[in-house]
Amino acid sequence: MTGRVVNALSVDVEDWFQVQAFADRIDRRDWDGQERRVEANTHRLLDRFAEAGVRATFFTLGWVAERAPLLVRRIVGEGHELASHGLEHRLVREQTPAAFAADLRRSKAILEDVGGVAVRGYRAATFSVGADTPWAWEVLAAEGFAYSSSVNPIRHDLYGMPDAPRFSFRPRADLPVVEVPMTTVRMGGRNLPCAGGGFFRLLPYSLFRAGVRRVNRHDGRPAVFYCHPWEVDPGQPRVSGLSRKSAFRHYLNLSRTEGRLVRLLRDFAWDRMDRAIPECAEGRAEPECAAAS
């Protein structure tokens, strides 16, 4: 364990059929007819976190919270941070500001009612906040959120804001909302992903670990790691008709994720977003954080 920097551990609580890669294969109207596996998989993650003695932030869909209130109560009861992942995993860039505000308001109300705690953090579906949604932070502030962790400062075919700062920043000086980007490693003039998800399953564990160590030691910053409950579920149903790219991204190395995660929990210090990154709790970012990387 590094012992010097406490990193931010997070989970995007959504089920296997709610991912963006399946949006054109499984209609939202059919979600209730799918096999629900998010509860068992999230309990597995909670068990691993309990064994490691760490706390995390659970960015949870309002849709899930309505159907799995006991899961939400376990998250809160074990000292984890409850945060919003929106209501139904809709991309921010595909919503109007009014629709986004309604989505935030509804998801926040559900989570707070079920969990009995204030919800201050938000993560957009598929990192869909960026240069094309400059209004999103104003809406977040108006709906009572202190921070967002919705920007991924890389180049990617589905998302990305490569020119964004690499660490916590205030998107607008007149708003209290802080944006906490996903972690990247700066090499060769480019931001390379080092935050979790598919890249955590794709890269050799030793290479991913080296990236987190570089961020901790070279940049002196906490890393932000994220995973999904379905990533520890190699037995989940297979969806037919996917493109090769989508199938590769979703199903790659699912059988290895849990083991790699256990190693990651052991190799670094971890805590929930609002403690590992004080700007999340304080609703601010230091001036130097707001500057480009």
pLDDT band for position 29 (cuts 50, 70, 90):
very high
User: Domain 6-290 classified CATH 3.30.70.20?
Assistant: no
Higher pLDDT, 185 or 293: 185
Mean pLDDT computed over every residue of the chain = 92
Q: Is the pLDDT of residue 257 over 70?
A: yes
- The residues that bridge with 196 in the sheet, in sequence order, are 226
Q: What is the DSSP letter of 169?
A: B
Hey, which residues does 147 pair with through a beta bridge? 121, 178
Residues 60-72, mean pLDDT to the nearest whole number: 98
- CA atoms lying within 13 Å on the CB side of residue 154: 18
List the chain domain ranges: 6-290
Note the pLDDT of residue 261.
Answer: 98
Which of helix, strand or coil describes residue 207?
Answer: helix
When pLDDT is cut at 50, 70 and 90, the band that residue 14 belongs to is very high
Rounded alpha-carbon distances, angstroms, from residue 183 to 107, 171, 193, 194, 210: 26, 17, 7, 5, 13
- With a cut of 50, say whether residue 291 has pLDDT above it: no
pLDDT at 264 over 90: yes
